[in-house]
Amino acid sequence: MTLLDETPNETPAVASDARGRVAELHAIRDRARRGPSERATEAQRAKGKLTARERIELLLDAGSFNEVEPLRRHRATGFGLDAKRPYSDGVITGWGTVEGRTVFVYAHDFRIFGGALGEAHATKIHKIMDMAISAGAPLVSLNDGAGARIQEGVSALAGYGGIFQRNTRASGVIPQISVMLGPCAGGAAYSPALTDFVFMVRETSQMFITGPDVVQAVTGEKVSQNGLGGADVHAETSGVAHFAYDDEETCLNEVRYLLAMLPANNRENPPSHPAEDPADRKGETLLDLVPADGNRAYDMRKVIEEIVDDGEYLEVHERWATNIICALTRMDGQVVGIIANQPASLAGVLDIEASEKAARFVQMCDAFNIPIVTLLDVPGFLPGVDQEHGGIIRHGAKLLYAYCNATVPRISLILRKAYGGAYIVMDSQSIGADLTYAWPTNEIAVMGAEGAANVIFRKQIAEADDPDAMREAMVKEYKAELMHPYYAAERGLVDDVIDPSETREVLIRSLAMLRTKHADLPSRKHGNPPM
């Protein structure tokens, strides 16, 4: 029996009997599991990062990981690569379970070639992606790589093309989650951008197309890696990252939590759990949470906490486009997606970023059979030259398209203001909401009473002896005629006006009724949504 030493390219001599060969097998497997060297492992930990295998152990249920192609080695020969042929070729692939449900995973091993992608490395990823699609199970990528392996040239670039093609083929079929645990530069950043969710860890993970050195050379701007593409930048400014955490352990634990709320694939419903929180629990607190005065702000998160199971929810894109809330939660044990205007941020208006954020969330929920509850308190779209020139029309249309295209159960609840086009876009009955409810504090109108009175009664106000008194009288008249809480209900545009304290019970009963909803769509290859 010949054991392997620390030379990456060494191949063991073949033993003459079965026991000897089995011993060699175990030696090779042990070598592959340990990685290139202790020094490489120490260097990884010195950066505050875990190894690829430690990350997989945190993500998956204990003892559930089954590795695929652990003994794969590259076959490149140029630039000294033929002298360095470590097992795994810098990526660990396989499957395991999260809370007993199958999940596929691949993890870059930064200790080997800096996690750079070569032909063999890419082939392993392609294989595990194909397996995930065929098995109909979620795919999680643990990214910590330096991009394409330069020594392998175009073969490495072609490997990325194969990943992107599979990301797109899997989109809307299985949940895809990208966890950024190190650098991700150039074309490598496009795979995470094609997936459903992106997690990042502060200080240790970055994403950018061109690095700080290139940016400075071309534009003269000096910026650090984290300042250009760190977790906080992408969680707050660009919207590339859905979640950002301080450490890898917390990040991977939250990935597990998210997976527990998603179905295995688009043919299944999300997993349900028995609920200890009573479905008919009254929410008396809601009567005081939302001011009747439409000009007063409040935190919509507190409303959500009152109506969902045990007040628990997972907010997506929590720090980007904060004027709208997108969250996954449970109601009576069933997974629900909630979209809500946030009056505590920009008065809850819709703007470019909020429209994009909500549209993508609606599409994700619809793809994976997650019912949608929309909470409205929206004064309209944000006015301004920047918004118009930035394309608020096409960006707002993305949200409109997403709602109109969604076939999952859809319930909207108007808490307070619902003005103009924003009311229509936020899943009004006219664009296909299955049920629409309103609180007695609702105001549904083309615009606010003050603005409407200034337009309709402009001449009377201008000619009045006391224009201010006339304006006030006209505002009251407009509210009495067109903005009272029951105007929309009288015309069938709202299914019922409900007691706020009964909101949870009403929503849960309605969702239960809609659970067997079936919608037929016109035959088509695909739609052409606004860009």
Active site residues: 186-187, 421-422
CB 415 within 8 A of CB 426: no
CB 232 within 8 A of CB 243: no
* 111: DSSP letter: T
Q: In the Cβ-directed half-sphere of 201, how many Cα atoms lie within 13 Å?
A: 26
DSSP string for residues in 82-102: GG---GGGGEEEEEEEETTEE
Coil vs helix vs strand at 74: coil
CB 301 within 8 A of CB 481: no
Which residues neighbour 389 within 8 Å (Cβ) at sequence distance 6 or greater?
Answer: none
Tokens of 269: 């419903």
Alpha carbon of residue 88 to chain centroid: 30
Which residues neighbour 460 within 8 Å (Cβ) at sequence distance 6 or greater?
Answer: 470, 474
- In which residue are the tokens 């930035």 written? 390
Q: In the Cβ-directed half-sphere of 498, how many Cα atoms lie within 13 Å?
A: 24
Which helix (H) or strand (E) covers residue 225, if one does? Answer: helix 225-229
* Burial (CB count within 10 angstroms: exposed 0-12, middle 13-18, buried 19+), residue 403: buried
CA dist 444 and 431 (Å) reads 15
The dihedral over CA atoms of 120, 122, 124, 125, expressed in degrees to the nearest 10, equals 170
| Rg (alpha carbons) of the chain, rounded to whole number | 27
Tokens of 414: 């108007």
- In which residue are the tokens 């959500």 written? 304
CB 211 within 8 A of CB 185: yes
Coil vs helix vs strand at 230: strand
One-letter amino acid for residue 465 of the chain: D
Which helix (H) or strand (E) covers residue 385, if one does? Answer: helix 385-389
